[in-house]
Amino acid sequence: MLSPHQVRPTEGLYDPQNEHDACGVAFVATLTGQASNDIVVKGLTALRNLDHRGAVGAEENTGDGAGILLQTPDRFLREVAGVDLPPVGEYAAGMAFLPLDPAEAESARQKLEGIAAEEGLRVLGWREVPVNPDILGSMARQVLPSFALMFVAAASGNLAGIELDRLAFALRKRSEHELGVYFPSLSSRTLVYKGMLTTDQLDNFFPDLRDDRLESALAIVHSRFSTNTFPSWSLAHPFRFVAHNGEINTARGNRNWMRAREATLASSLIPGDLNRLFPICDPHGSDTASFDEVLELLHLGGRSLPHAVMMMIPEAWENNDVMDPARRAFYEFHATVMEPWDGPAAVCFTDGTQIGAVLDRNGLRPGRFWITEDGLVVLASEAGVLDLDPKTITRKGRLEPGKMFLIDLDERRVIEDDEIKSGLAGEQPYEDWLYSGLVRFEDLPDLEHIVHTHASVTRRQQVFGYTEEELRILIAPIARTGAEALGSMGTDTPIAGISDRPRLIFDYFSQMFAQVTNPPLDAIREEVVTSLAGTIGPEGNLLEPSPASCRMLQLPFPVIDNDELAKIRHMNRDGDMPGFAIHIVRGLYDVHGGGVALKAKLDEICADVSQAVENGARIILLSDRHSNADLAPIPSLLLTGAVHHHMVREKLRSQAGLLVEAGDVREVHHVALLIGYGATAVNPYLALETAEDLAREQVYVEGVEPRNAVRNLVKGLGKGVLKVMSKIGISTVASYTGAQIFDCVGLSQDVIDAYFTGTSSPLGGVGLDVIAQEVAARHAKAYPTQGISSDRRHLEVGGEYQWRREGPEHLFDPETVFRLQHSTRTGRYDIFKQYTSRVDDQSERLMTLRGLFDFKKGLRAPISIDEVEPVSEIVKRFSTGAMSYGSISEEAHTTLAIAMNRLGAKSNTGEGGEDAERLYDPERRSSIKQVASGRFGVTSEYLTNSDDIQIKMAQGAKPGEGGQLPGQKVHPWVAKTRHSTPGVGLISPPPHHDIYSIEDLKQLIHDLKNANPQARIHVKLVSEVGVGTVAAGVAKAKSDVVLISGHDGGTGASPLTSLKHAGGPWELGLAETQQTLLLNGLRDRIVVQTDGQLKTGRDVIIAALLGAEEYGFATAPLVVSGCIMMRVCHLDTCPVGVATQNKELRAKFSGKAEYVVNFFEFIAQEVRELLAELGFRSLDEAIGHAELLDTRAAIEHWKAGGLDLSPIFHVPDVAETLNTSGARHCTTTQDHGLADALDNELIALAADALERGEPVRAQLEIRNVNRTVGTMLGHEVTKRYRAEGLPENTIDLIFLGSAGQSFGAFVPRGITLRLEGDANDYVAKGLSGGRVIVRPPREAQFTAEAQIVAGNVIGFGATAGEIYLRGKVGERFCVRNSGATAVVEGVGDHACEYMTGGRVVILGRTGRNVAAGMSGGTAYVLDLDESLVNREMVELRPVEGEVADMLRSMVQKHFEETGSAVAEQLLGAWEQSVTRFTEIMPTNYRLILEAQQQAAAEGLSEEETTARMMEVAARG
């Protein structure tokens, strides 16, 4: 039996480490402090109303987890325990998860009693907890424990409360470590019931919870949505102190740091030697479990719970200039003590007396609260979890980013954020401590700058394998501009693990990125929440902070130049700053000794570092300078990983800082890796010297002072790291340090375990010997054995980014491009076979993982090709990639669409909408409509006319990133389909602002399904380790199709770091997806698609055998259409008219639909041939038969030999896991639950309007479980009346109550939804002409404008229509609005972000970062606090003239629709009121509109007018 807190073991590519969860969380408490059963009941009710935020897997009756935390229910326990209990507080009670076997359970109890005695506790008795296992699904039952409540008290004395809890803590820790017995809680103050249950099952399973003697003054409840269905009993929330909705992205690093700190941990409060309690963080726990464990330690170690929470989840203080200095000092001091636990989080916490909640610095999780007259406080992930009488509500609010909401039940009041924080900030003189302790960089004396000669730079460039291409494409652009260059068309070179060339060890790693389970960040537009600062120096005892704790050097930036490094080296030169004593490690080894010498040297270095720290070194500098003919540099990442992990293991890491001086570092990815594996700061000295040298020699870096070239490179590399961090949703470099957010293909497990502990490297690979060989090959270039460098190349040419004869192989090279084009243009299958054989035959030139595969022949008898399904059936499974009209030309876009429509296959609109003309043209329409983060062109009409709707969570070339279409590329025809203004730049944000978690994705899928119930919903993911678990989550979120894209996919423009170093091959991601779906019993309900450099029939068959049933192609059909891989899509100079909007170039487009048809038919023909060989009659038969794949036998490759591909070919034995059909492909459909939708009722009510356009009026009740209300109705309107919709207010509906999420999404013209009550997140998203009005209930007593009326991300991507909200709303109001009019009475942070059109009126306070990335539209804000505006793109002006009149009519309308008191007051004295408004308008937008007006005034034609606008844009 798996023990209850065991997780499922690793199998094939499935690894339980990759599970994620996201959830619904709530608490209920009473300010009276009076325990009652009512609070318990309310908690359970709230939990049930959060049900839709949780999930179930293949079995409806196995939940991902649910639980409740209560105050110790003393009365109940006394009555049921059968034990004589001391007074409340003097005993601790907790439920043990014991083995199911009675004898084993008994033995465990005895051992527990033994440990209790050792820890100074006396066991008062046990109580069997009654449970109801019959209701469980088989998966939950398989791992079911038995449950016993344990009661303990102090063996001597009358210890109570926290003091008793400290003893219980020791007992619990030891019980977990020594006995494997898990306690959800063991405390004198609180008690947790939880398990692998659905929300409905919780109180059924534990009948205790239905006992009305159970009393508490507070309850925290939690409903879990795990991406996988292998949750365990112990991973349910709440934990001992917290319940959490979100994800701690940096958990791996945080755990490592905690482990390192254990050496210095000591506490006068927790008795005994703490060593017996280590590790503090259970390595198998979830992110939340670890968070809870550390929070517990900090709390029991003497900090109040709010204090500990503030340390672990600090608000964004770094860039906040207006923060109170004392509070700033508090944060700055604690930043030297502990790195933030970073990631999207809404955490509810309690110690039994104080109960509170906090939101991460980005505010990427929702949290709302209500307080009633009688002191009831309800806080939840969403509005409406409890039916509260509106008349009794005195306060409604929301959690704000970085802010704390706290209730003290003893004090019987809410403690406001300011009060808590200033109280804590005042506890110690933190400012003084920092003044005397912290050393700031700028205070160190300047040193003479050393200039290295060109010859010296060149020689060392050779040592580190620099290429000419790297100088030109990587280093020079950053040195010139401070920003990384862009590239396009993906990557098609071999990954490092199979590359024939010596590769840097950096290349074996790829960056992980956020998709679905948490959002990436926008480090540009939302820079206010980020920080690149860190500190270096030894840490003190975490539990006993003192002024000495902050004796550190502050580093404002993670990349330092040579002069800065010299300063650090000189700090303790005179021995007067021993706190900064530096020890320099020479990272060089005897290159002739190979892997053995390398290993020996690393061991020696580790021992040396231990000694140095013991001798007082406080900064370790790892340097690879001074290599020579015999000594080669150890790859800096290997050196860093080795030393960092050695120091973590030896618990030395927190006693000294780690700096890296590395010559091999020359791009963002390298710096990110070094920091990710433990370096505090990196000095890429040779890259910097190279930049300086290039600038001095005026090669590639012209007109830039050498000094500035260096500064630019430092800045560019650092900012690039920020971007890499933001892709996974991490905002501070302090928490990124050591977080190891990378996966690896091609390094052996030995290397990983020794130097990169904990990193995933599923296929194994090379060891130190090959790494040494790679170093030696580079070294020999600089120091040739014969003393002669005879090839006349100072540096290798390169060829990673552009094909070169002497560079690495590319899948597309002159020959393959030529043969592909020629064969499809002339219809010659024989030449096509020459093309595919050059791509497929990788026996001599390894290019792809699948190139290493072979088919196992003979397992099945071949059949005649005549028996195989025809080409016409196979082509239906093909689609072309999502390439927007805007990135490629109309000619290219239409050619692909026509071809796919002819074949009965599918083309994809890409992000950017579809022209109405094509929308209804069966020949030219694209049947897949994409929905991406910018939501450009996503309207009710667009969705209604789709066959498939694809949600792009990530894109292979740049997963985790957004995009930007500069104004001069927004040509009129592009603007039209995107519902934007010609010439106005458009930004696609990194995240979908309505998807911060898996349950949000579930919501969006539901929204889109409502917007078109006939369409299949796709979710596009990018391959990375763990994508299988995400895909399982996607299946549970009811997606119809999941697409696994390879990392190598093409794109119009992507930063080079992402193009090359993010994401993994689709072979891995697809196999992991297939295996995970099968293990979960979810495979039969979802279609799996794959894409990423698919080029041949063999590629298709391999994808099929690995589990894909549909296949996407992008680059190849473009090449067929004439693309010759210029890789200049981002420059708009495509000479063959494919990826350009330039009319002259578009005229050169030579593609034809026939060629594309030929291509797909040829591919299908090859597929048929292979199917026949393998003995399959159809693709359906072949899907998932990975057992037919094998590793190609003939390959003897110096690197690839070490790879073990068998995890890819693994087929799970599904019979043993679940009662499923065992089908390896999709055989059924998802149940989207549309039958229960309120909209069915609305559609029936609106029949007259739908059929005859007659007005319809109605009034209905609404609850939070009614999600996406109005959308399906809207679909019905659009289906009949297209984009025009119905006359305004034809369907006019009033709703009473709390609306669920996405109220009024995509509602078209003619529908008016009036809500009296409140609403959750995503109100009126994608509004397409309809009207949405929300106002408080008429009987409400509170002041409407002071309270929250609706949640976050309202009006996201709206294109037309009106929104009136009486009251305040949350974050990101009207984000990416492009046409709607909205009025509101107060907003949170980031209002009007990325807006491109429309008008917004804010009659109240705003949060920070107003108008970030706003390129179009206008906003009018009452009494604007200008310091809160992000001024990057906008200007502020008073409201005058016609604008004032227009504003007045908007305010007037707001008053009429909502009865707004604010509006009434303003209108009453309009002349004065108008002066209080400020207009926010993007500067370029204004210039373009002025040009338009000017042109209109001159009577110019439409074409001339847009020409004028584009001119202004070009001047931009």
Partner 1 sequence: MADPRGFMKSPRRVAERRPVGERIHDWNEVYPGGVGKALLPIITEQAGRCMDCGIPFCHQGCPLGNLIPEWNDLVWRDDWADAIDRLHATNNFPEFTGRLCPAPCETACVVGINREPVTIKNVEVAIIDVAWERQNVKPEAPEWLTGKTVAVVGSGPAGLAAAQQLTRAGHTVAVYERDDKAGGLLRYGIPEFKMEKVHVDRRINQMEREGTVFRTGVAVGKDITGSQLRDRYDAVVLAMGATVRRELDVPGREFAGIHQAMEYLPQANRVALGQTVEDQILATDKDVVIIGGGDTGADCLGTAIRQGARSVTSLEIMPRPSDERPSAHPWPTYPMVYRVASAHEEGGERVYSVSTKEFVGEDGNVSGLRLVEVEFKDGRFSEVPGSEQVIPAQLVLLAMGFTGPETDGIVAQLGVELDERGNIARDSTYMSNVDGVFVAGDAGRGQSLIVWAIAEGRAAAAGVDGFLSGSTNLPYPIPPTARPLMV
| Residues taking part in catalysis | 23
Q: In sequence order, which residues have a C-beta less than 8 Å from that of residue 1286 and are 6 or more positions away?
A: 1249, 1253, 1277, 1308, 1309, 1310, 1311
Q: How far is the CB of 492 from partner 1 (least distance, A)?
A: 10
Assess 797 for contact with partner 1 (CB under 8 A). yes
Assess 452 for contact with partner 1 (CB under 8 A). no
Show the tokens assigned to 91: 């005993």
Q: How far is the CB of 798 from partner 1 (least distance, A)?
A: 10
Cβ proximity to partner 1, 792 vs 1252, nearer residue = 792
Q: How far is the CB of 1483 from partner 1 (least distance, A)?
A: 27
What CA–CA distance (Å, rounded) separates 956 from 507?
17
Residue among 53, 109, 224, 810 that touches partner 1 (CB under 8 A): 810
- The window from 53-61, 142-150, 779-787, 1487-1495 that contacts partner 1 (CB under 8 A) reads 779-787
- The window from 410-418, 807-815, 965-973, 1073-1081 that contacts partner 1 (CB under 8 A) reads 807-815
Size of the site for partner 1 (CB under 8 A): 45
Residue among 277, 489, 852, 1179 that touches partner 1 (CB under 8 A): 489
Q: How far is the CB of 458 from partner 1 (least distance, A)?
A: 12
Phi-psi region of 343 (alpha: psi -120 to 50; beta: other; left: phi over 0): left
Q: How far is the CB of 842 from partner 1 (least distance, A)?
A: 18
Phi-psi region of 1132 (alpha: psi -120 to 50; beta: other; left: phi over 0): left
Number of other CB atoms surrounding residue 1221 within 10 Å: 13
Assess 818 for contact with partner 1 (CB under 8 A). yes
Residue among 156, 268, 275, 786 that touches partner 1 (CB under 8 A): 786
By the 8 A CB rule, do 996 and 518 touch? Answer: yes
Residue among 310, 817, 1094, 1332 that touches partner 1 (CB under 8 A): 817
Cβ proximity to partner 1, 461 vs 1039, nearer residue = 461
Assess 803 for contact with partner 1 (CB under 8 A). yes
Assess 790 for contact with partner 1 (CB under 8 A). yes
Q: How far is the CB of 989 from partner 1 (least distance, A)?
A: 29
DSSP 721-761: HHHHHHHTT--BHHHHTT---EEESEE-HHHHHHHSTT-B-
Cβ proximity to partner 1, 1126 vs 1172, nearer residue = 1126
Cβ proximity to partner 1, 308 vs 485, nearer residue = 485
Cβ proximity to partner 1, 1134 vs 1269, nearer residue = 1134
Q: Which of residues 1135-1164 bind partner 1 (CB under 8 A)?
A: 1135-1136, 1144-1145, 1148, 1150
Assess 813 for contact with partner 1 (CB under 8 A). yes
Q: In sequence order, which residues have a C-beta less than 8 Å from that of residue 1380 and are 6 or more positions away?
A: 1324, 1327, 1355, 1358, 1359, 1360, 1361, 1362, 1363, 1374, 1398
Assess 773 for contact with partner 1 (CB under 8 A). no
DSSP 1133-1152: --TTSSS---HHHHTT----
By the 8 A CB rule, do 1130 and 893 touch? Answer: no
By the 8 A CB rule, do 247 and 287 touch? Answer: yes
Cβ proximity to partner 1, 781 vs 1085, nearer residue = 781
What CA–CA distance (Å, rounded) separates 393 from 373?
6
- Give how far Cα 855 sits from Cα of 258, 754, 1090, 1174, 1207, Å: 48, 35, 20, 8, 16
Q: Give the dihedral of Cα atoms 494, 500, 503, 507; nearest 10 deg.
A: 20
- The window from 208-216, 568-576, 818-826, 1292-1300 that contacts partner 1 (CB under 8 A) reads 818-826
Residue among 788, 861, 1215, 1497 that touches partner 1 (CB under 8 A): 788
Cβ proximity to partner 1, 154 vs 1125, nearer residue = 1125
Name residue, tokens 């009811």. 1038
Residue among 180, 784, 1222, 1404 that touches partner 1 (CB under 8 A): 784
Assess 210 for contact with partner 1 (CB under 8 A). no
Phi-psi region of 1154 (alpha: psi -120 to 50; beta: other; left: phi over 0): alpha
Assess 787 for contact with partner 1 (CB under 8 A). yes
- The window from 684-692, 722-730, 798-806, 1249-1257 that contacts partner 1 (CB under 8 A) reads 798-806
Assess 264 for contact with partner 1 (CB under 8 A). no
Cβ proximity to partner 1, 791 vs 1254, nearer residue = 791
Cβ proximity to partner 1, 411 vs 815, nearer residue = 815
Cβ proximity to partner 1, 995 vs 1136, nearer residue = 1136
Q: In sequence order, which residues have a C-beta less than 8 Å from that of residue 1106 and are 6 or more positions away?
A: 1067, 1070, 1071, 1074, 1090, 1184, 1186, 1189, 1208
Q: Which of residues 1159-1218 bind partner 1 (CB under 8 A)?
A: none
Q: Which of residues 1106-1135 bind partner 1 (CB under 8 A)?
A: 1124-1128, 1131, 1133, 1135
In 3-state terms, the chain is what percent helix, strand and coil (to 5)? Answer: 40, 20, 40
Residue among 822, 1279, 1437, 1486 that touches partner 1 (CB under 8 A): 822
Assess 1469 for contact with partner 1 (CB under 8 A). no
Q: How far is the CB of 1396 from partner 1 (least distance, A)?
A: 28
User: Which H helix or E strand runs over 418?
Assistant: helix 417-425
Nearest to 1356 by CA among 1375, 1333, 1378: 1375
- The window from 820-828, 902-910, 1321-1329, 1416-1424 that contacts partner 1 (CB under 8 A) reads 820-828
Handedness of CA 321, 326, 331, 336 (dihedral sign): positive
Q: How far is the CB of 792 from partner 1 (least distance, A)?
A: 5
Q: Give the dihedral of Cα atoms 763, 768, 769, 775; nearest 10 deg.
A: 110
Number of other CB atoms surrounding residue 1027 within 10 Å: 30
What CA–CA distance (Å, rounded) separates 1091 from 1069?
11
- The window from 30-38, 336-344, 806-814, 1082-1090 that contacts partner 1 (CB under 8 A) reads 806-814
Site string for partner 1, 730-769 (x = CB under 8 A): ----------------------------------------
Assess 699 for contact with partner 1 (CB under 8 A). yes
Cβ proximity to partner 1, 1122 vs 1326, nearer residue = 1122
What CA–CA distance (Å, rounded) separates 770 from 40?
62
Assess 1375 for contact with partner 1 (CB under 8 A). no
Q: How far is the CB of 964 from partner 1 (least distance, A)?
A: 19
- Give how far Cα 231 sits from Cα of 196, 441, 1071, 1493, Å: 7, 47, 21, 61
Handedness of CA 163, 166, 168, 170 (dihedral sign): negative
Name residue, tokens 């094998």. 1190
Q: Which of residues 700-719 bind partner 1 (CB under 8 A)?
A: 702
What CA–CA distance (Å, rounded) separates 399 from 403?
7
Assess 458 for contact with partner 1 (CB under 8 A). no
Q: How far is the CB of 710 from partner 1 (least distance, A)?
A: 22
Show the tokens assigned to 1307: 């509602």
Cβ proximity to partner 1, 97 vs 1149, nearer residue = 1149
What CA–CA distance (Å, rounded) separates 199 from 658?
47
Q: Which of residues 949-1008 bind partner 1 (CB under 8 A)?
A: none
By the 8 A CB rule, do 1001 and 738 touch? Answer: no
Show the tokens assigned to 1299: 């609306």
Residue among 128, 178, 753, 806 that touches partner 1 (CB under 8 A): 806
Query: What is the per-residue burial (b if ≥16 Cβ within 10 Å, else e) of 1487-1499?
Result: bbbebbeebeeee
Q: Residues interacting with partner 1, by CB under 8 A?
A: 468, 489, 699, 702, 781, 784-793, 797, 802-806, 810, 812-815, 817-818, 821-822, 825, 831, 1124-1128, 1131, 1133, 1135-1136, 1144-1145, 1148, 1150
